[in-house]
Amino acid sequence: MRRRAQAPPSPLPQRAGIDPVRLRLPADPEGSWPDLGSYLAARYAGTRGEESMARLLAAGRVLGPGGRVLHARDPYEPGAHLWFHRDMEPEPRVPFTVRVVHRDEHLLVVDKPHFLATTPRGSHITETALARLREELDLPGLSPAHRLDRLTAGLVMFSVRPEDRGAYQLLFQRREVHKEYEALAPRDPALTFPRTVRSRIEKLRGVIAATEVPGPPNAESLIELVDVRGGLGRYRLTPHTGRTHQLRVHMNGLGLPILGDPVYPEVADPAPDDYRRPLQLLARVLAFTDPVTGAAHRFESTRTLQAWHDRPGWEAGP
């Protein structure tokens, strides 16, 4: 089997803990792009990147292998690599801290707060757990082993060294990590627990909400009612698969939407800096055998879901 040639090393360092963007120029059998500038203009046409890329080229901030500055009028070279840092709008500081639960030379486990994204995505670049941890802990090679939704708090795993990343990611791909979540949602006396929910979940690119659709199940969750306080239930959720928004979709499908969910059952649009009523979903437990050291690990979040003991404070926000 033919192997793809390895990309040359980046001539740009990380900036604020964020890796530079790397592009490999595609083939151009029709000769559509006489120069680099025309290709980049076509690639980013109609997006925010159109003006930004023109500025980066003009400022000499797009580099080729070895740190060579690239210009808009440079010949187009199919297969060549280039690197640049995105122009980033100032991001509001998410006013909550990431707690380190475990750190060794291979593995980092942290307890992420609500409202902080795990990795750069969309408008969240520097205000992410990955960017903060790379900078604060001086771990430039840090990589996520999996991802936790921005609105969900709790445990997240990272590999410290690039050479270990695949081993930790494979744990999740093979479903060899035991995960438990805690959630607060309405109680329905007509429903019996524990129960296993199986359904087919699909999420379209660019659409916020995932949906349950007819077809063979691709998502499975064990749902247990742990405690009741008035009309509110405290649930332990154990996913056996890892579909996007799986637990939120399954709880909503039972008529028990998780408290504070801005997507299920209806999509809302809270302001980015509105930290009131955080989603009452917590990644409570991670347990697995370390694929690098062979150690048996079980980690548990020390965070609590505020609405269980302080509903008015949860509604008012920080």
pLDDT at 160: 96
Here the tokens at position 301 are 């979040």
Amino acid type, 64: G
Mind listing the pLDDT tens digit for each residue in 130-142?
989 998 999 988 9
Mind listing the pLDDT tens digit for each residue in 176-192?
999 999 999 999 999 99
Residue 11 has pLDDT above 90, yes or no: no
Mind listing the pLDDT tens digit for each residue in 102-117?
999 999 999 999 999 9
pLDDT at 86: 78
Q: Band of the pLDDT at 19, cuts 50, 70, 90? A: confident
Mind listing the pLDDT tens digit for each residue in 273-313?
889 999 999 999 999 999 999 999 999 999 999 999 999 99
Q: What is the mean pLDDT of residues 27-34?
A: 91
Distance CA 128, CA 197 (A): 32
Residues 62 and 69 sit within 8 Å (Cβ to Cβ): yes
Q: CA 176: distance to chain centroid?
A: 20
Handedness of CA 77, 79, 83, 88 (dihedral sign): positive
pLDDT at 17: 64
Residue 3 has pLDDT above 60, yes or no: no
Distance CA 316, CA 268 (A): 18
Residue 315 has pLDDT above 70, yes or no: yes
pLDDT at 1: 44
Mind listing the pLDDT tens digit for each residue in 38-49?
999 999 888 777
Of 6-15, 42-51, 80-89, 178-187, give the range with the top mean pLDDT: 178-187
Amino acid type, 108: L
Residues 157 and 168 sit within 8 Å (Cβ to Cβ): yes
pLDDT at 140: 85
**pTM, to two decimals:** 0.78
Q: What is the mean pLDDT of residues 230-250?
A: 96
Percentage above 90 pLDDT, the chain: 71
Here the tokens at position 259 are 């408290």
Dihedral pair phi/psi, residue 52, rounded to 5°: -60, -45
Dihedral pair phi/psi, residue 15, rounded to 5°: -125, 120
In 3D space, the residue among 139, 265, 261, 245 whose CA is nearest the CA of residue 202 turns out to be: 245
Q: What is the mean pLDDT of residues 203-224?
A: 94
What 3 state SS string does the chain have? Answer: CCCCCCCCCCCCCCECCECCEEEECCCCCCCCCCEHHHHHHHHCCCCCHHHHHHHHHHCCCCECHHHCECCCCCECCCCCEEEECCCCCCCCCCCCCCEEEEECCCEEEEEECCCCECCCECCECCCEHHHHHHHHCCCCCCEECCCCCCCCEEEEEEECCHHHHHHHHHHHHCCCCEEEEEEEEECCCCCCCCEEEEEEEECCCCCCCCEEECCCCCEEEEEEEEEEECCEEEEEEEECCCCCCHHHHHHHHCCCCCCCCCCCCCCCCCCCCCCCCCCCEEEEEEEEECCCCCCEEEEECCCCCHHHHCHHHHHHCC
Residue 216 has pLDDT above 70, yes or no: yes
Distance CA 12, CA 20 (A): 7
Q: Band of the pLDDT at 122, cuts 50, 70, 90? A: low
